[in-house]
Amino acid sequence: MKLLRYYSDAGIRPGLKADDGTLRDLGEHIADLTGAELGHDTQAKLASLPLADLPIVQEGPRLAPCVGDVGKFLCIGLNYRDHAEEAGLAIPQHPILFLKANSAISGPNDPVVLPRGAQKTDWEVELGVVIGKTAKYIGIEDALDHVAGYCVVNDVSERSFQMDLSGQWTKGKSCDSFGPIGPWLVTPDEVPDPQQLALYCDVNGKRMQQGHSSTMIFSVAEIISHLSQLMTLHPGDLIATGTPPGVGMGQKPDPIYLRAGDTLRLGIDGLGEQQQHIVEDS
């Protein structure tokens, strides 16, 4: 299933993207798509609903973040070998972890807002993994059993905040609007192998990032297992698993950064596409 959340006059509603291309409302069957509602039992219940009984959502609504009330927003840095090389940084021996503030989360097509003082705002298409079952001290072989679904994440980054403000990555990753997620949360039955997904990002119509999850240094299962040794992962926690090469910071001979008026289009095979317009903060 492709689960989603959308804005209506009554607030955010849960829904799904049907195979016939329509958006269907799930509000009569589930309160919201949050950690508490993402378990395998709930997914089985939703999958069993007759499509004809689900109301069609009209007029192409604005999509909300595909998961509500995210617990932890965990991010893995330098997880593609060629991205680490373009950044001029050593290949990590263990997953590099940083946090992104939950207040950065936005819808997949909402504007990216340049914060005051921004000089080097960058794009990063990433495979997002949403936890569906509590995970603590789990092995790699069991890790994917704890996944509720997968989604597209844009780990937007202000490099001047990230690199120049005492080297704290979280500072450059957590500005408002810097965490678009969606358009939908795709359940694991539609993603049999998360290491077989192509990723891309276009800036103003030009392909800048093109990569494949098979080239991750640490697989999704390895990341989940590793993190579960450090902390308990709860349903609704979101993990961004790293970006392939082609970010603005790595462009040669000179870096390229986002400016107001630019547009982004990014996506992952089978997980949908995001589109964002870059605007100045008011």
- Return the CATH architecture of domain 73-280: Alpha-Beta Complex (3.90)
- Tell me the three state secondary structure of residue 230: helix
User: Residue 163 has what pLDDT?
Assistant: 80
pLDDT band with cut points at 50, 70 and 90 for residue 57: very high
Phi/psi at 170 (nearest 5 deg)? -60, -35
**Mean pLDDT, the chain, whole residue set:** 95
Using CA atoms, how far apart are residues 65 and 24, in angstroms rounded to an integer?
Answer: 16
Of 173, 187, 176, 193, give the one whose Cα is nearest residue 247: 173
- pTM (whole model) above 0.75: yes
Using CA atoms, how far apart are residues 268 and 154, in angstroms rounded to an integer?
Answer: 11
Give the mean pLDDT of 182-208. 98
Lowest model confidence (mean pLDDT) among 25-39, 157-171, 197-211, 250-264: 157-171
R_g over Cα of the chain:
18
Q: Flag whether pLDDT at 50 surpasses 70.
A: yes
pLDDT per position as a tens digit, 227-253: 999 999 999 999 999 999 999 999 999
Q: Flag whether pLDDT at 36 surpasses 90.
A: no
pLDDT per position as a tens digit, 262-282: 999 999 999 999 999 999 997
pLDDT per position as a tens digit, 142-169: 999 999 999 999 999 999 998 878 767 8
CB-count burial class (<10 Å; 0-12, 13-18, 19+) for 199:
buried
Domain ranges of the chain: 2-53, 73-280
Sign of the alpha-carbon dihedral angle for 145, 42, 110, 277: positive
Q: Any alpha helices (H) in 133-175, and if so which ranges?
A: 159-164, 169-173
User: Residue 46 has what pLDDT?
Assistant: 95
